């Protein structure tokens, strides 16, 4: 059964039909889209070493700017233990550089949350909750997080976490998907954010 449908339950059918198709993949299918990030923003300059480490692991990066082309590909697969997984590959074309924001998601059916491993190899783990807005959009929020050091996963206290909020919806008048991702920290404030739109999406 489709993992996003499982985590949302009956709410899944309140999503805009375009989002139902986008998140309705089964193992062996994938979703492709391309578009433009109107803005990409990073936090304080002293976080640059963290962003440079993230760039090497295809998770976060130090560059920011406006009107940056990007592509997104969600590949629905099946893990070695038989669980459904989704590989998220987001590529941002910043000048001559390609920057990534990649992740692997799978479902924790008992807790009704998505498990999100960010980076390749993973650098951060986060529980994610999914909900549907009144306009048929999708909202994603992070919960518990762990820092990953090799085979060791270290729980992060709330003050050290990057709290993620994602809004995605379909804009009928423009026939495109809108996306806004914002990562904040209780002490630092804004850590990372991007906002834009993408089209030409299809589930194959």
Mean pLDDT of 132-155: 96
CA-based end-to-end distance of the chain:
17
Of 105, 21, 101, 15, residue with least CA distance to 55: 101
Mean pLDDT of 109-133: 95
DSSP code for 29: -
198 or 204, which is more confident?
A: 198
Cα–Cα–Cα angle for 185, 180, 196, rounded to 5 degrees: 135
DSSP code for 119: T
- pLDDT of the residue at 80: 74
Of 203, 191, 172, 200, residue with least CA distance to 101: 191
Provide the domain limits for residue 144.
3-182
- The answer to whether residue 109 sits within a structural domain is yes
The total domain count for the chain is 1
pLDDT band at 203 (very low <50, low <70, confident <90, very high): low
Is 78 a residue whose pLDDT tops 70? yes
- The answer to whether residue 194 sits within a structural domain is no
- pLDDT of the residue at 161: 95
- The answer to whether residue 21 sits within a structural domain is yes
Of 22-26, 80-84, 108-112, where does mean pLDDT reach its minimum?
80-84
- The answer to whether residue 89 sits within a structural domain is yes
Is 97 a residue whose pLDDT tops 70? yes
- The answer to whether residue 93 sits within a structural domain is yes
- pLDDT of the residue at 82: 77
pLDDT, tens only, 148-180: 998 899 999 999 999 999 999 999 999 999 999
Residues of the chain with pLDDT > 70, as a percent, come to 98
- pLDDT of the residue at 83: 84
> Tokens at residue 26, please?
């089964």
Is 143 a residue whose pLDDT tops 90? yes
CATH code for position 128: 2.40.128
- The answer to whether residue 55 sits within a structural domain is yes
- The answer to whether residue 78 sits within a structural domain is yes
- The answer to whether residue 48 sits within a structural domain is yes
pLDDT band at 201 (very low <50, low <70, confident <90, very high): low
């Amino acid at each position: 059964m489709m993992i996003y449908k499982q985590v949302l339950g009956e709410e899944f059918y309140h999503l805009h039909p375009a989002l139902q198709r986008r998140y309705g993949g089964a193992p062996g299918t994938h979703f492709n889209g391309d578009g433009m990030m109107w803005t990409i923003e990073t936090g304080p300059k002293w976080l640059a070493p963290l962003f440079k480490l993230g760039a090497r692991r295809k998770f976060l990066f130090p560059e920011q700017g406006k009107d940056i082309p990007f592509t997104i590909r969600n590949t629905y697969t099946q893990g070695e233990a038989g669980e459904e997984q989704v590989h998220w590959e987001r590529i941002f074309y910043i000048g001559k550089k390609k920057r990534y924001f990649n992740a692997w998601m799978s479902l924790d059916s008992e807790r009704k949350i998505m498990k999100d491993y960010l980076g390749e190899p993973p650098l951060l783990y986060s529980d994610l909750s999914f909900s549907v807005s009144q306009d048929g959009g999708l909202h994603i929020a992070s919960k518990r997080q762990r820092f990953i050091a090799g085979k060791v996963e270290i729980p992060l206290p709330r003050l050290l976490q990057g709290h993620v909020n994602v809004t995605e919806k379909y804009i009928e008048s423009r026939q495109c998907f809108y996306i806004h991702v914002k990562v904040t920290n209780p002490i630092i404030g804004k850590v990372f954010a991007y906002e834009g739109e993408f089209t030409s999406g299809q589930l194959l």
